[in-house]
Amino acid sequence: MNRALTVARLQFVAWPSVVGWPWAILTLSFVINLAVYGAMDDTDLQPTTGGLLSIYVMMFVACLNSITQVFPFALGLGVSRRSFYLGNVLQFVAQAIGYAAVLYLLAVVEEATDGWGIRLRFFGLPFVWVENPLLRFLGYAIPFLLLGFLGIAIALVFKRWGVNGMLTLTTAALIGFGGLSVLATWQHWWPAIGRWFADQSGAALLVGWPALLTLPLAAVSYLVIRRATP
Amino acid sequence: MSPVATVTDLTKQYRGVTALDRVSFSLAENRIYGLLGRNGAGKTTLMQILTAQNFASSGEVTVFGQHPYENERVLSRICFIKESQTYPSNLAVRHVLRAARLVYPGWDEEFAQRLVDDFQLPPQRNVRKLSRGMLSSLGIIVGLASRAPLAFFDEPYLGLDAVARQIFYERLLADYTEHPRTIVLSTHLIDEVSDLIEHVLLIDQGRIVLDAEAEALRGQVVTVAGPVAAVDEFARTGAELHRVLLGGTARATVRGDFGAAEHNRARSLGLGLEPASLQELVVRLTTQPNGHAPAATTAGATSKEAAR
């Protein structure tokens, strides 16, 4: 466990670039949105932007890099795969919790200032409303984990099975999702699927289902990394 | 003295290619080993398996008495500086050193800083902007300052100029004298390190073809030159590794147990005799004329070496 903590700290040796980039890009996106909608000066407009997504995408990319770049470095320094995995998860879960807390607070400020004075919704949860404060917080945190583990899992397929592994994974995903949508169209399931999504609560869409998807990804990633070579 | 690492019948196959073929040897404590061999001989693969970065197809590997795979106790005492080691793109030189300092229990920060000055490495520069030689220096600094009880240097001097290489050899020797440990140097600049290494492991096409003390080897291989008949006669006292014919004279590299008696004999036969360099021995043992295995006559001597 000590070793895992060391790995977590190791990922922050250049912390300004680790923490700085995601927030710099999010800030830039926010300022641009603020300027654009501020300039429109249309009080009937209640703009909702997708700018918040940028920080989630950054987390996904950071987790890809943790496997393709930090993993070979850490193993070269004599760290075990288990310690690397635990330490890596530890540092990105810590980031997810920290980032979610800041986003939560910014959303509170956004609400209190009536959308920064121009009814802009940037940090507020985009398409659903979650009343419970804990669930609201998790609504910010859990998607970080889902995207992070998705990044880790994809990068590990590349690390362990190379380009052929990636091609196989892509093909399987295309056939899987393509086949399902053909089936859904053929059987006229789309309205039912739409209803199912509409019936889900915000908490289920942002917290419950992502958490349920994250767990198997985390487990599979652990099994894959144990036999991966740097 | 129990060995630091033991390898028994280690075989590694990649899709039909045999990278390592029933390799067996052991590394003793506090010695400098030269792991020699041509490109693609299996040196890196061997070190990767010893450090649990790669997996053996069959055979046993024991490091510090245990299997290294996922073994924190073992891994924290190993440092493996790969020639192809990559670093995360957001790190500068000083970040890499800070990371190494976090990981290695025996890290000597002052020594690391001194080496940074010696190699004139810019601490603020991003690793992706380092030249090949600077990257090698960075690996060397991590490997030396880690003070890991078992350190592997894989072609550590790529891109380094002669001055920097000399600094490396000097610092390595000085620090090794003060803090004895086991060091494995994989290299093909054999002449440069021949004074440094105490034990030679020569690997060719995935097989260990030589496992011997450097000191013992020094008198063992000689080059004799003179009339063909005399060379023929002298060559019978050992195993002939190589011969160049020039008219009526021959120049042969012979391996055997050469004492004063043999030297006198060579003189009486009218032959010039001089000790061959380690590099020459390596070249002779790993060159394959007509695609045959290197002189079958060496097999006896090799197995005798390995048995010791």
Residue of A nearest to B87 (CA): A73
Interface contact A10-B102, CB threshold 8 A: yes
- Domain of A73 in residue numbering reads as 2-225
Phi, psi for residue B18 in degrees, rounded to 5: -95, 105
Q: Does residue A137 have a pLDDT over 70?
A: yes
Interface contact A78-B75, CB threshold 8 A: yes
On chain A, the residues whose CB falls within 8 A of the CB of B92 are 14
A156 located within any domain: yes
Interface contact B78-A75, CB threshold 8 A: no
- Secondary structure string (H, E, C) spanning chain A: CHHHHHHHHHCCCCHHHHHHHHHHHHHHHHHHHHHHHHHHCCCCCCCECCCCHHHHHHHHHHHHHHHHHHHHHHHHCCCCHHHHHHHHHHHHHHHHHHHHHHHHHHHHHHHHCCHHHHHCECCCCCCCCCCCHHHHHHHHHHHHHHHHHHHHHHHHHHHHHHHHHHHHHHHHHHHHHHHHHHHHHHCCCHHHHHHHHHHCCHHHHHHHHHHHHHHHHHHHHHHHHCCCCC
The pTM for the full model equals 0.89
The interface pTM score, or ipTM, of the predicted complex is 0.89
A136 min Cα distance to partner chain B (Å): 33
Q: Does residue A39 have a pLDDT over 90?
A: no
- Sheet strand arrangement including B272-275: B239-246, B249-255, B221-227, B272-275
| Total tally of structural domains belonging to chain A | 1
Residue of B nearest to A79 (CA): B75
A19 min Cα distance to partner chain B (Å): 12
Interface contact B76-A70, CB threshold 8 A: no
Instruction: Report chain B (308 residues): mean pLDDT per 10 consecutive residues.
Output: 91 92 96 93 94 95 95 94 91 96 96 96 96 95 96 92 94 96 92 90 93 86 90 88 89 87 87 88 76 40 37
Q: Is B80 near chain A, with CB under 8 Å?
A: yes
A230 located within any domain: no
B308: DSSP letter: -
Interface contact A77-B72, CB threshold 8 A: no
What confidence tens digit (pLDDT) does each residue in B56-84 have?
999 999 999 999 999 999 999 999 988 88
Other CB atoms closer than 10 Å to residue B136's CB: what's the count?
A: 25
A67 located within any domain: yes
What confidence tens digit (pLDDT) does each residue in A58-74 have?
999 999 999 999 999 99
A137 located within any domain: yes
B80 min Cα distance to partner chain A (Å): 6
- Structure token pair of residue B221: 């291989």
pLDDT score, position B293:
42
For B103, which of A10, A82, A230 is closest by C-beta distance?
A: A10
Tokens 């309205």, located at residue: A191
pLDDT score, position B299:
37
Interface contact B70-A75, CB threshold 8 A: no
pLDDT score, position B303:
36
